[in-house]
Structure 1
Amino acid sequence: MRGVRRVALGMAFSFFILSLGLVYWQVVQADTLLENPANRRLILMESRVTRGGIFDRNGEIIAQTQTSQGKKVRVYPKGELFEPALGYSTVKLGASGLEGSLADWLLGIKKATPTQTIQQLFALPRQGDDVVLTLDSRLQSIAYNALKGKMGAVVAIDPRTGEILALVSQPSFDPTNLDQNWNTVISRKQDRPLENHAFSLFPPGSIMKVVTSAAVLRSGINTTDLYDCKGSTVINGQVIPEQNDKAHGWVNYNMALADSCNTYFATFGVKAGDNNFLSAAKGFGFGQKIPFELNVPMSSITNAAKIPAKLTTNLLAASTFGQGEVLVSPFHMALITAGIANHGVIMTPHLVERVLDPSQTVLYEQNPQPWLTALSKEEADKITSAMVTAVTDGTAAPGALADVQVAAKTGSAEPGGNVSTHAWYIAFAPAEAPRIAVAVIVEHGGTGGGAAAPIARQIMQEALSQKEGGK
């Protein structure tokens, strides 16, 4: 009898725990589950919900649901221009990219209007919300065409607000009729069209010197002092070479950044110490999750830890000019560039400008917010001055614009192995009152000045030709 009682009590307790779990998942966590892009219920809801449209900042249609022969069809008028960031939404494949992360708005779930709530409660047909992005189709198109046929990424930001103006990854794919073309897309393993190269991690090479600059400036080192670059140097038994073993001669900080002098930054980066270097890197967001509508992997200083407590002298020396184990995404480098442009303050990046309900009433509007204060204004001004010198009298000259002062830095990063270097270019303009910051990478493209700078120049030129604040 006692055994039967124990079994009964055990079953009762099990049912109690099960009931608690059901209440937790179906009541407490109901909205979280429903808003998760992996939840196929979101896709199945679209049989009675017309997914809202996605538009660029000028009102151009990026994604829209149309009815064809009584069947809802997701239409992408721009083809592969906004992929893979835009993503896709199909019953068969689910949702990815912005189509997935913004599904709660697009299906009218988040901050549902009273009408949408009633329609959802009674499973009635309804219209989702429209999302207006910060992206500019004109800048997106220029970046896309400039990168076409190459592997790489372009990110353009308004440094004053954190608005993402262009987010291009190449190669990309056409989301139209994706159910039928899926096998073709996933078979392209060599160029990885589903991977967002703007979020992939790469060694930054010499563009890392803008981060190292903060460490040098904070260490009390006199940046006007001259240093004799002889083409290479030895630090703790490790040979630090210049690109092509070029001797830059006597350089101060400004000329060292302009000429991209590895030995200067390794020498004074080590002198500044690993505490200053790691503090500067952390201040720029290394080892931190970037708040954004899409997932961006953390940038890191070492393989063992994103931001280690200490660095060996040899690893510190290599890290100062973006080699060693340093990894960063083009998206993050655009934020770092924007932070320098914005007097040291990195604004929280965002893609959603506003959300409109079916009657076009504004449900949500982005309010620009700071993310990190990476530099003091004085530090930002000194780095900007050196980046201007890089354009007027250094390696970044190919990104120069007529009648507009550009601040920029080149990078040629060695990915390891017997392959060409990644070509980097970061820039902002106008240098004295920046309105756009850009990061460009051309994978295995060679030099930053040769492969990446012309792309950045085209984007800045188009952005600055538009009226201030115009859409």
Structure 2
Amino acid sequence: MDKELKRIITVLTGICILFISLVVYLSYFQIFKAESVKMNSYNKRLWINEEKILRGSIIERNGKILAYSEKDGESYKRFYNHGNLYSHIIGYSYREYGKAGLELEYNNALLNVSDSTTLNELKNIVIPNTEGNTLKLTIDHHLQEYSRKLLNGKKGSIVAMNPITGEVYAMVSLPDFNPSTLKENWNNIVEDENSPLLNRATSGLYTPGSTFKVITTIAAIETTDLDREYECTGSTIIDGYELKDYNGKAHGKLNLEDALVKSCNTYFAEKGVLIGKDKLGEVADRFMVNKKIPFDIPVAKSTFPYKENIGKTDIAASSIGQGKILMTPLNMALIASGIANKGDIVRPVLVKEIISPEGKVIKNNQPQIISRGADIFTANEVKNMMVEGVKRGTSKNASIKNIRVAGKTGTAENTSGKAHAWFIGFAPADNPKIAVAVALEEDGTTGGQTAAPIARNIMIEALNTIK
């Protein structure tokens, strides 16, 4: 009898363990994984309402239609105007290949349906919607088109935005693809070694080079006991490692402003070691490095692993934007915007309004400060240094006649052997209307040679055309 009772207890214990494991697993799935499963582009539940609802249109800030749907037999067909131009912003929506971009992130809004709960699904059955909402973007079609032409077939990205409101006027990533012909070209697209599906503006992680010296400059200003004077001989030895200035050029006597204007590597490397990794990391974090940037489409985290056990050579390399630092172009645009906006970083925005089928604005994205990068005095000091960089330094190819421009170039070494060319900046410096980040992937040139002139032209065009 005792053996029989032990067997029953063993079986019951096993069943209880299995039952508890199932409850724990389902609870974990519901709490931590439900959202990712719900938003997965291959989730067939996303397509349930597609059959009966005219998917909403997507328009740019001036009302130009970028994407729309029409009845095609028993279902609806999606049309993408302007070929490749908005492939990384709007993305695509295909039953065979899922969804991406705004088509995925704003799927419910475009279908005019509520989140998938039992109550909402019953409501949709009783009072079904037949037409989705329209997305009105902050993008300016002319500037988007103009920016893509300036990239001229190069690999890389351009982000142009209003530093005060956070509105993104242009966001280009090359190589790109044509969402209208995705079915026909899918295999070629996914097999392309240049990764045309990758949105380099939001998910491209690049060594930032000297553009990161803006962060080091802020850290230097905030380190009140730091001696800002320096004698540059063209090279320095840090912990046994020789670090050189560009072409080994000696800059002579420098203060902090001169060092940023001339982009002196040895100055920032030596001062960065004195400042220390924790202070550098703290400032970087305030400018959204190592943090999730809230945006209308997914953004990869920029990274500066300063909390790891890194030595003096790593700190020196990080201080000049080399080593283990990786940044997205969007994050670099936010750094420029934060300095332009007196130290406040505003949430970047792609979707300006959601408009109902009846023409009513049901959601309006207002400016929202997401971080305080620096105080107003520090931001103003760095702004003036960046203005001097355009006047007489490495950023002079970004200068605009009769307009004060603030900017910083970057030439970033990487494992490919071909440097990334960078520029970040804004204009007018004292009343900023446009902030720009240009990243040319493996371009093999300097930021001053190639990225700065592109940024200058975008700033001119934006100031002349965007109201």
Pairwise same-fold verdict (TM > 0.5): yes
**Paired residue type of 2:458:** I
**Unpaired runs of 5+ in structure 1?**
none
Three-state SS of the structure 2 residue aligned to 1:127 is coil
Residue 152 (structure 1) aligned with residue 150 (structure 2): no
Quickly say closer, same or farther: Cα 1:220–1:12, change in 2 above 3 A: closer
**Paired residue type of 1:186:** V
Confirm or deny: 8 A CA contact 1:37 1:103 kept in the other structure: no
Confirm or deny: 8 A CA contact 1:157 1:436 kept in the other structure: yes
Confirm or deny: 8 A CA contact 2:277 2:306 kept in the other structure: no
- The whole-number CA distance in structure 2 between the counterparts of 1:207 and 1:250 is 22
Three-state SS of the structure 1 residue aligned to 2:436 is strand
Kindly, what percent of the aligned residue pairs are identical?
Answer: 38
* Aligned match of 2:294: 291
Q: Which deviates the most, 377-386 or 122-131?
A: 122-131
How far has the Cα of 1:194 moved from its partner?
0.3
Residue 425 (structure 1) aligned with residue 423 (structure 2): yes
Quickly say closer, same or farther: Cα 1:310–1:281, change in 2 above 3 A: farther
How far has the Cα of 1:45 moved from its partner?
2.3
Q: Which deviates the most, 260-269 or 70-79?
A: 70-79
**Paired residue type of 2:78:** R
Q: Where do 1:75-86 residues align within 5 Å?
A: 75-86=79-90
Three-state SS of the structure 1 residue aligned to 2:456 is helix
Residue 89 (structure 1) aligned with residue 93 (structure 2): yes
How far has the Cα of 1:315 moved from its partner?
0.9
Confirm or deny: 8 A CA contact 1:44 1:91 kept in the other structure: no
Three-state SS of the structure 2 residue aligned to 1:126 is coil
How far has the Cα of 1:60 moved from its partner?
1.1
Residue 105 (structure 1) aligned with residue 109 (structure 2): yes
Q: Where do 1:215-226 residues align within 5 Å?
A: 215-221=219-225, 226=229
Aligned residues: 458
- The whole-number CA distance in structure 1 between the counterparts of 2:14 and 2:401 is 80
- The whole-number CA distance in structure 1 between the counterparts of 2:17 and 2:274 is 65
Q: Where do 1:49-448 residues align within 5 Å?
A: 49-68=53-72, 71-110=75-114, 120-122=124-126, 124=128, 126-189=130-193, 191-198=194-201, 199-221=203-225, 226-301=229-304, 306-308=305-307, 311-417=310-416, 419-445=417-443, 446-448=445-447
Quickly say closer, same or farther: Cα 1:331–1:257, change in 2 above 3 A: same
How far has the Cα of 1:123 moved from its partner?
8.1
Quickly say closer, same or farther: Cα 1:20–1:213, change in 2 above 3 A: closer
Quickly say closer, same or farther: Cα 1:17–1:420, change in 2 above 3 A: closer
- The whole-number CA distance in structure 1 between the counterparts of 2:384 and 2:83 is 41
Confirm or deny: 8 A CA contact 1:205 1:322 kept in the other structure: yes
- RMSD after superposition: 2.9
Confirm or deny: 8 A CA contact 1:164 1:350 kept in the other structure: yes
Confirm or deny: 8 A CA contact 1:340 1:383 kept in the other structure: yes
**Paired residue type of 2:430:** E
How far has the Cα of 1:185 moved from its partner?
1.7
Can you list the C-alpha shifts for 1:341-361, whole angstroms capped at 9, x where unaligned? 101111111211110111111
Three-state SS of the structure 2 residue aligned to 1:176 is helix
Quickly say closer, same or farther: Cα 1:364–1:94, change in 2 above 3 A: same
Three-state SS of the structure 2 residue aligned to 1:67 is strand
**Paired residue type of 1:229:** C
How far has the Cα of 1:166 moved from its partner?
1.1
Three-state SS of the structure 1 residue aligned to 2:333 is helix
Confirm or deny: 8 A CA contact 1:345 1:370 kept in the other structure: yes
- The whole-number CA distance in structure 1 between the counterparts of 2:377 and 2:32 is 49
- The whole-number CA distance in structure 1 between the counterparts of 2:165 and 2:10 is 64
Confirm or deny: 8 A CA contact 1:221 1:272 kept in the other structure: no
Three-state SS of the structure 1 residue aligned to 2:102 is helix
Can you list the C-alpha shifts for 1:46-93, whole angstroms capped at 9, x where unaligned? 111111111111111111112345642111111110122321001111
Quickly say closer, same or farther: Cα 1:307–1:63, change in 2 above 3 A: farther
- The whole-number CA distance in structure 1 between the counterparts of 2:144 and 2:235 is 40
How far has the Cα of 1:120 moved from its partner?
2.1
How far has the Cα of 1:27 moved from its partner?
13
How far has the Cα of 1:97 moved from its partner?
1.2
- The whole-number CA distance in structure 2 between the counterparts of 1:410 and 1:13 is 61
**Unpaired runs of 5+ in structure 2?**
none
Three-state SS of the structure 2 residue aligned to 1:239 is strand
- The whole-number CA distance in structure 2 between the counterparts of 1:314 and 1:12 is 56
How far has the Cα of 1:275 moved from its partner?
2.5
- The whole-number CA distance in structure 2 between the counterparts of 1:183 and 1:109 is 33
Three-state SS of the structure 2 residue aligned to 1:177 is helix
How far has the Cα of 1:11 moved from its partner?
7.5
- The whole-number CA distance in structure 1 between the counterparts of 2:47 and 2:399 is 47
How far has the Cα of 1:273 moved from its partner?
2.2
Quickly say closer, same or farther: Cα 1:121–1:25, change in 2 above 3 A: farther
- The whole-number CA distance in structure 1 between the counterparts of 2:110 and 2:409 is 40
Structure 2-normalised TM-score? 0.90
Confirm or deny: 8 A CA contact 2:42 2:97 kept in the other structure: no
